[in-house]
Amino acid sequence: MSEVEELESRVRNLPIESLTRFRNWFQEFENELWDHQIQSDFKAGKFTSLIDEARKEFAEGKVREL
């Protein structure tokens, strides 16, 4: 049995209270990973062209308030 399969089995057998706690923890964990990825991509300049395009459209009056 692989490590992932073992984890899946253990999660399936958790009591509902423990599963809820685990789910909440895992959601926060994923959010932290996502935040770090976004920060890394931003520092690497991966959003520069999108930001430039948005600024250009704003300057040209092609945007509206939400």
**Residue 29 located in a structural domain:** yes
The 10s digit of each residue's pLDDT in 31-60 is 999 999 999 999 999 999 999 999 999 999
Distance, in Å, from the CA atom of 21 to the CA atom of 11, rounded to the nearest integer, reads: 11
Sign of CA pseudo-dihedral 13, 16, 22, 27:
positive
pLDDT of residue 10: 97
For the whole model, what pTM was predicted?
A: 0.68
Distance, in Å, from the CA atom of 32 to the CA atom of 41, rounded to the nearest integer, reads: 14
Contacting residues for 54 by C-beta, under 8 A, at least 6 apart = 63
**Residue 38 located in a structural domain:** yes
The range of the structural domain enclosing residue 22 comes to 3-59
**Residue 48 located in a structural domain:** yes
**Residue 28 located in a structural domain:** yes
Q: Is the pLDDT of residue 65 over 90?
A: no
Total domains in the chain come to: 1
**Residue 33 located in a structural domain:** yes
